Amino acid sequence: MALLGTARNQQLPNAPFPIISRAWQQLLHETEPSVAVLKGAALEHIALHSGVKPIQGVPMATPCPVDPKPYVPASAVSAAQLMLQGELKQLMGEWIARANASGFVAPPRIIPELLDFGQANVHLRPAISALVGSRGHWLAAQTNQWKWLLPASDPGSTKGGDEMWLTGSDPERVSWLAACLEADPDRAANAIEASWRGESPEFRETIAEAVAENPHPAHIGWLEMFALQDRRHRTQSLAVKILMTLPTSGFRKRSIERAATLLKLSGRRLIVTPPTHFDEAWAADGIRRKAPGGKGQRGFWARQILAMVPLSLWPDLVDGHDPFALKLDPDWEDTVRDAWIDSAKMHGGSATLAQLLTYLSAHLSPDRMSKILSDLLNDVPINERGGFLEGLTFTDRDRERLLLNLRPTLSAQEHPVLHHAATAWIADEKSPINRGEAIILAGCCDPISIPAVLDKLSKLEKLTAAAEEFARALEFRHSYLQHFIKHESL
């Protein structure tokens, strides 16, 4: 009827389904035939899609528990929906963090979109898990779409017992393992050792990651027997990290002794004597024999041996001195620096990482430092990265590159140098910053300073396309951050 037009037929037919007859009768009173036709089409569409008889014999799901937290304010939710659909999506991580910090929970209408966002952004999954609340976890339990959100099983129950480890899906096995590692480390270690050889390389890495969160002497056996020789470099590195935290580990003792044999102090100079041959016993501890193309064998072996010792233990290797205050052997200084960088990647540690970065920034070029910083700070929360970067010596242009790569959350008071670099380019008509980069830099700015930065922008005679995008992103942030800032101050 809509296709033919109401000029040919102004009278609606009878209701196509009895269930919508009462609503259909109301359409007969419409004075405009075209309005009646469109409303009739809408009713018919609803009946076709929702008027289906339910499948018989399927048990109803347990109702979702009520979440006591208040919903994110509607206007802030509208901003999130725009970002989830691709508008200024670079700012979504901050939105999620602020919503959590304010004690809010996501309203039902954006939970599926948030969970889909978590599928692609693994590093944001813990924050998204908290934000979606009980309804998000309930929803994940009804479908196979978001298995990463499934709750941990109880290792003491029948469902969560050893059978879960043997026959469950990967998410179920991970959940079981996480609970078992905390409740019964010996049981978890026995389960891992029995199944290790049959696991996929990806799942072996997952196991090592879980154990790194709960290291225990019960795991020394399978870590030294299997994980140290794993072909996957990440799994091997995790094994080294775990074993070096366990004082009773034979690997820890061997590693410290092996590194000490390569080092000698001569006044304030650190002399390095790399090994002259490969000891076959080293292979059992994960040290590789063959160097990559272009690398010297002796330096390659020395680098691996030195990197296995956490930076926090290096004073013990150099008679209590600060290793970063020593003058390095010029023949092997690159080997030692690379070992320190590898050690920081492997073992972490905020205090030693800050010392290492200060040392490296005084000895390496900005281009080399930029790559190293991206590697070393990748796992550091964005709200902590500024503290590591603020004191490093760079030009504003180099700082811009760092901000674009690492995207730290800055405070104008605590990080004045970095904050200046995030905004200084806007007055330069020849600045190479593009529109996408401008959005990232806008996301680094201190929320409290946004009005002042916008005022500075308003006084410029001419704005580049990137500066206009920068201003738009700042205004967008300011509009939704108000809801969180006010709530956080209560």
Q: What is the pLDDT of residue 161?
A: 61
Select from 222, 253, 254, 250 the least CA-distant residue to 238.
222
The predicted-structure confidence for 240-282, as pLDDT tens digits, reads as follows: 999 999 999 999 999 999 999 999 999 999 999 999 999 999 9
Tell me how far apart the alpha carbons of residues 274 and 62 are, in angstroms, rounded to a whole number.
64
The predicted-structure confidence for 318-327, as pLDDT tens digits, reads as follows: 999 999 999 9
Cβ neighbours, 10 Å, residue 352: 20
Region of residue 295 (left: phi > 0; alpha: psi -120 to 50; beta: else): beta
C-alpha torsion angle, residues 358, 360, 363, 369 (rounded to 10): -110
Is the pLDDT at 448 greater than 80, yes or no?
yes
Q: What is the pLDDT of residue 483?
A: 81
Tell me how far apart the alpha carbons of residues 124 and 126 are, in angstroms, rounded to a whole number.
6
Q: What is the pLDDT of residue 156?
A: 45
Q: Which residues are 393's β-sheet partners?
A: none
* Average pLDDT value over all residues in the chain: 90
Q: What is the mean pLDDT of residues 71-90?
A: 92
Is the pLDDT at 410 greater than 60, yes or no?
yes
Tell me how far apart the alpha carbons of residues 251 and 258 are, in angstroms, rounded to a whole number.
10
Is the pLDDT at 368 greater than 50, yes or no?
yes
- Report the percentage of the chain scoring pLDDT > 70: 96
The predicted-structure confidence for 346-361, as pLDDT tens digits, reads as follows: 998 888 999 999 999 9
The answer to which of 75-84, 183-192, 374-383, 395-404 has the lowest mean pLDDT is 374-383
Residues 202, 179: contact at Cβ < 8 Å? no
Residues 241, 346: contact at Cβ < 8 Å? yes
Cβ neighbours, 10 Å, residue 365: 9
The residue type at 120? A
Q: What is the mean pLDDT of residues 89-111?
A: 93
The predicted-structure confidence for 129-172, as pLDDT tens digits, reads as follows: 999 999 999 999 888 789 888 765 444 443 446 788 988 888 78
Q: Is 182 helix (H, G, I), strand (E, B) or coil?
A: helix
Cβ neighbours, 10 Å, residue 238: 23
Q: What is the pLDDT of residue 441?
A: 95
79 compared with 12, residue with greater pLDDT:
79
Tell me how far apart the alpha carbons of residues 404 and 406 are, in angstroms, rounded to a whole number.
6
Q: What is the pLDDT of residue 50?
A: 81
The predicted-structure confidence for 176-185, as pLDDT tens digits, reads as follows: 999 999 999 9
Task: Report helix angle 201-213 to 233-244, nearest 10.
Answer: 20
Q: What is the pLDDT of residue 157?
A: 46
Tell me how far apart the alpha carbons of residues 122 and 98 are, in angstroms, rounded to a whole number.
18
Distances (CA, A) of 254 to 244, 250, 251, 308, 343: 10, 6, 5, 10, 16
The pTM of the full predicted model, rounded to 2 decimals, is 0.75
Q: What is the pLDDT of residue 138?
A: 92
Cβ neighbours, 10 Å, residue 139: 19
Residues 204, 192: contact at Cβ < 8 Å? no
Residues 299, 333: contact at Cβ < 8 Å? no
Q: What is the mean pLDDT of residues 428-443?
A: 92
Q: What is the pLDDT of residue 490?
A: 45
Is the pLDDT at 440 greater than 90, yes or no?
yes
Tell me how far apart the alpha carbons of residues 19 and 249 are, in angstroms, rounded to a whole number.
73
pLDDT-derived band at 80, boundaries 50, 70, 90 = very high
Q: Is 264 helix (H, G, I), strand (E, B) or coil?
A: strand
Q: Is 272 helix (H, G, I), strand (E, B) or coil?
A: strand
The predicted-structure confidence for 22-74, as pLDDT tens digits, reads as follows: 999 999 888 888 999 999 999 999 888 886 676 777 777 789 988 999 999 99
pLDDT-derived band at 486, boundaries 50, 70, 90 = low
Residues 137, 149: contact at Cβ < 8 Å? yes
Tell me how far apart the alpha carbons of residues 234 and 240 are, in angstroms, rounded to a whole number.
10
Is the pLDDT at 409 greater than 50, yes or no?
yes
Is the pLDDT at 17 greater than 70, yes or no?
yes
Supply the DSSP symbol for 326.
S
